[in-house]
Amino acid sequence: MRKYNYRRLIFLVLFAVVLAVILRSTIFASYIVDGESMEPTLYDGNLLMVNKVVYDLKDVDRFDVIVFHANEEEDYVKRVIGLPGDEIEYKNDRLYVNGEFVKEDFLDAYVQASDSRPFTDNFTLKDTTGEQKVPEERLFVMGDNRGDSLDSRSFGFISLEQLVGKVDVKYWPLSQAKLSFGN
């Protein structure tokens, strides 16, 4: 019969728990989706893991799903549509960035199932000065449920300083688990 070194096992388990707590609090954050603005990508009650350091290492990409501080009490989850310097326009349910049509594959099933036409109302992006570009150090964000989303069309651009991080994992419910969002 083999003897186990319980001290070593207890040390290993404690080390793993401490490491998990440190990584979770510094690199990742857990969020619960509250509302319907990101359907069909994210549903009310989904649990998300947000990578808090990814944007220290790389730039934000178009269509990344992000969490940001909307105000002192609330954080929002939205999709990045416009990057600094972009000209954004929606016309006939089609996104144009800098005059070029950009396909939004993540919306296809939802648009087809939607009874409302147009799915995304026409608009041309303008900032408070009348400029038609996303300002430097700012992002233009929208929810995937375009008819029921409080987003940059309402509250304007968000600053890069408001970013919490990128949604990397949807882990609850398990039947809807997903490991990546965006492009």
Residue 113's SS3 state is helix
Find the catalytic residue in 78, 149, 152, 170: 78
Among the listed residues 51, 78, 80, 49, the one whose alpha carbon sits nearest the alpha carbon of residue 177: 49
What's the chain's Rg over C-alpha atoms? 20
CB 170, CB 177: distance < 8 Å: yes
Structure tokens given for 113: 């199932």
Find the catalytic residue in 37, 152, 166, 170: 37
Burial 63-81 (b: 16+ CB within 10 A, else e): ebbbbbeeeeeebbbbbbb
78 is catalytic: yes
Give, as one character, the DSSP assignment of residue 95: E
Q: Which long-range contacts (CB under 8 A, 24 or more apart) does 19-27 make?
A: 26/52, 26/53, 27/51, 27/52, 27/53
The residues annotated as belonging to the active site are: 37, 78
